[in-house]
Structure 1
Amino acid sequence: MGGASSSKQAAQSENPTFFTQEELNKLKSDFVTGGVEKVKPLIDKKVAELDNTELNIAVTGETGTGKSTFINAMRGLRSTDVGAAEVGTWETTMKPTRYPHPHLPNVCYWDLPGIGSTEFTAGRYLKEMKFERYDFFIIISACRFKENEVKIAKEIKRLGKNFYFVRSKIDVDFYSIRKEGKEINEEKELKYIRNDCVRKLAEAGIPTPTVFLISSFEQDRYDFVRLNEALENDLPNAKKSIFVLAFPNRSVEIIQKKSKELMKRVWMLATLSGAVGAVPVPGVSLACDISILVGGIISFRKCLGLDDASLQRLANSTGKPVEELKAEVKPPLLGKIDKNVIMRLGWGATVVAISAMELGLDFVPVIGSIFGAGSSFLMTYKILNDALKDLTESAERVVKVAFGID
């Protein structure tokens, strides 16, 4: 995480996080008049808000465009995994079907019935899909966008919500061309496909549309990463955070982005620990709330894909033995997290003088360097900060081994 100065610079660019300026001002005034006990309710509320924020993403398009495959890809699942959306060349979705994220159940993808199927005409579709419940829409086509997709886009726009045109199965297009023995310039072909889609949408009444060209099986190619970045950038703070944490672990860059989001939560959990007061562990003079530490580390581990279920899914999808991936996780962060693990993580903190300046905490909203060395806030902050750093490094090593990244 670097020294105090680098931590300060990074944090200053990120804060205030999850709080409005009005809320930050209230935190400051409450702290001055009532100390940490008085700021605890608002921070409690923010932590609960982050835990309970829902993100509902609708995926719609004609039958056979790859909606289910896309939903599985966005959740890091294969079609054979437990909880995966059913994949087929026929109409597999007859009503809006909810698919929660494997470890962030408040992030839900909704597979909507194919537009224009015999069961759902476009007019009836608009009435029955309950568009108001969704945060944004992915409109998928495996060929050219047609009248039905345009009707859906216009209705979404009328509701004041965002929509994104996705042209899927680009890999299938290129495979078919090559099977015919034709030479192909991928860059030129991609430009042609994109321009064709944009032109047709513009002619149908969608001004300056953006179209993302993707393959759900080759997520490191074409526009898959660019699509995720666009979705992320258009979301408000709390929803943006959980969307980032829901990314499948495909690269070191994704791990680092997740770690940055989780770091925003460390000071809030540390403040709650400081409000609760010292709950010592027998044999070790840890001035922290153990339940906050245990819960925080378990949550960080899941978000970084280091729990057993996530590691097994990654092993299945990459063909790597799960034991090989687990070998990259730094002990004692693999396995059960309990007070004994916290004791080992915190042992060094009990014998090293801790100061707010050492940890670069002068950036923290409200708290600053007010707490003295050895306070519950500082102790919890240090343990969570160190655990997140170790988990991040472990997750980076796991991804490198899983995908053969140098």
Structure 2
Amino acid sequence: MGQLFSGTSRREALCSSFTGYFQKFKAENKIISQETITSVELYLTLGDLQQVNDTITYALRELASAPLNVAVIGESGTGKSSFINVFRGVGHEEETAAPVGVVETTMRRTPYRHPNIPNVVIWDLPGIGTTNFPPKDYLEKVKFCEYDFFIIISATRFRKNDIDLAKAVSIMKKDFYFVRTKVDIDLENEKQCKDTFGREAFLQHIRSHCVNMFKKNDLDVPPIFLISNKNVSDYDFPILKVMLKNKLSTHTHRNIMFSLPNITEAVIERKCNSIQQFIWLEAFKDGVLTSIPAVGILKDSDVEKLKTSLNHYRVLLGVDDATLEFMAKDSQVPVEQLKKITKSPYLLETKNRKTLEGMFVKYIEKSVSANDRLLATGLYFRKAFYLQLLLLDTVAEDAKVLLRKTHSRN
């Protein structure tokens, strides 16, 4: 057995802290299983520090390495396979490419790995509505319930199958992006039919029509992207690629809810609570092996780690630069205006260091006054831990401010 606690009172305090912390969350909102929680509580009762640390470390590692299954769905001929190839950076002629063609080419669900995003499997599903895959049999044939996240591909115009797929995803309480392909063809056709033509106005017309169709069918409006699989540097494709890579790089099937758009402040709070659990668990497993205070002075290496954490939180809560660009285009608000009302991107700049220190002191005082469990149990956590919580809270507040700003425009 590993190193044992020297004091019964500290052991009891640790057990109380761990048990009490996770009692705050409903079972479906806990990022680790009840089995893991019970194991940690047992090792805490026995006073086995190393097993506590190892069990939490293993659980967090499992979360990080869990595969994420992403399904690309839609009608045949909308460009699903082409989209997968472009997103993966694979040429259509390459051996590992998804087959494309003018006839139905995807006859069975086919998995593809992304070369730069570990643990992500992108599934190319057969098109819905063909003779081989009629709507009434489609969901069962493609094993619809096995996927964690969906990308619905549509083209030319909004169809009933698009709505039916969106409803099926929503019923499973899973999330999706809506991608309208071939907008270059739409633009060219519009240009030929009308004497006066405005590109941006026409694209906004397509986007607004998609939004209205989701609302008309009582569905939450997902992120909507207008793209061309041929002109990948134009339209929304650059933003879509960055946003998708950010989302898929930081999510597992157990916390895919992070990809849900910030449609309400309650959603933002759910995301924030999950991230807080990660931070708390990391601090707890490190803290049980620490017998002396480890507050100290914040070092340059700590600041670099905090910058990484800050960027991570911005991606998870939809405050990163790529998402801001998408929000600006979607809400027709200048991106500079959105950046101006956010605080988190500038927190760790040298010129703001004194302001951050002042915020940090107030944050600690608030934690103590709220009888923070981490402090009350005698566990000593590094200064950087509390700064991570402060960064997260600041990012969450930015997300809420942006939600109010963009929502008021709709």
Residue 309 of structure 2 aligns with which residue? Answer: 296
Can you list the C-alpha shifts for 1:142-166, whole angstroms capped at 9, x where unaligned? xx45323578755544x99469999
Moved more, 325-334 or 20-29: 325-334
Match of 2:335 among 308, 319, 322: 322
Separation in 2, partners of 1:399, 1:16:
23
Shift in Å, 1:333: 4.8
Q: Does 1:348 align with 2:357?
A: no
Are 1:225 and 2:220 matched, yes or no?
Answer: yes
Aligned-pair identity (%): 19
Map Cα deviations across residues 54-112 of structure 1 (whole Å, 9 max, x no partner). 312122454333648998xxxxxxxxxxx7699xxxxx9778989xxxxxxxxxxxxx6
User: Could you tell me which of 105, 115, 118 is aligned with 1:120?
Assistant: 105
Distance 1:240 1:213 in 2: 13
Q: Map 1:49-198 onto structure 2 (within 5 A).
A: 49-65=62-78, 67=80, 113=99, 118=103, 120=105, 122=107, 125=108, 129-130=110-111, 141=128, 144=129, 146-148=131-133, 155-157=141-143, 161=146, 172=157
CA RMSD of the aligned region, Å?
Answer: 5.5
Whether contact under 8 Å (2:81, 2:124) holds in the other structure is: no
Distance 1:68 1:254, change over 3 A: farther
**Which among 256, 271, 277 is matched to residue 243 of structure 1?**
256
Question: For the residues of structure 2 that align with 1:319 and 1:239, how far apart are their CA atoms?
Answer: 32
Contact 1:40 1:272 (8 Å CA) reproduced: yes
Are residue 305 (structure 1) and residue 312 (structure 2) matched? no
Shift of 1:395: 0.9
Establish whether residue 392 from structure 1 lines up as the match of residue 373 from structure 2. Answer: no
Q: AA paired with 2:406?
A: A
Structure 1 window deviating more from structure 2 (15-24 vs 296-305): it is 15-24
Q: 1:268 to 1:22 in 2, by over 3 A?
A: same
Counterpart among 25, 29, 42 of residue 55 in structure 2: 42
Q: Secondary structure at the match of 2:315?
A: helix
Give, in whole Å, the separation in 1 of the partners of 2:21 and 2:153: 42
Q: Which amino acid aligns with 1:348?
A: K
Quick check: 1:371 aligned with 2:385? no
Q: 1:213 to 1:31 in 2, by over 3 A?
A: closer
- Offset at residue 340 of structure 1 (A): 4.6
2:70–2:121 CA contact under 8 A, matched in 1: yes
**Is the 2:363–2:390 contact (alpha carbons within 8 Å) kept by the matching residues of 1?**
no
Deviations along 1:103-128, one digit per CA (max 9) or x if unpaired, are xxxxxxxxx656x9547373xx46xx
Q: CA deviation at 1:265?
A: 1.8
Q: Check conservation: 1:345, 1:383, Cα contact below 8 A.
A: no
Shift of 1:243: 1.6
Letter in 2 for 1:20: S
* Cα distance, 1:324 vs structure 2: 0.8
Letter of the 1:402 counterpart? T
In structure 2, the CA distance between the partners of 1:323 and 1:214, relative to structure 1 (3 Å rule), is closer
TM-score of the two chains, using structure 2 as the length reference: 0.55
Give the match's secondary structure for 1:147: coil
Aligned length: 313
Tell me by how many angstroms 1:394 deviates. Answer: 0.9
Q: Secondary structure at the match of 1:395?
A: helix
Check the 8 A contact 2:30/2:274 in 1, yes or no: no
Alignment-derived partner of residue 23 in structure 1: 36
Partner AA of 1:401 in structure 2: K
Given that 1:60 and 1:139 are in contact with CA atoms closer than 8 Å, whether structure 2 keeps it comes out as: yes
The letter for the 2-side match of 1:225 is: D
* Structure 2 counterpart of 1:281, from 294, 297, 302: 297
Letter in 1 for 2:360: G
Aligned in 2, Cα 1:121/1:37: closer, same or farther, shift over 3 Å? closer
Structure 1 residues 8 and 255, CA, compared in 2 at 3 Å: closer, same or farther? Answer: same
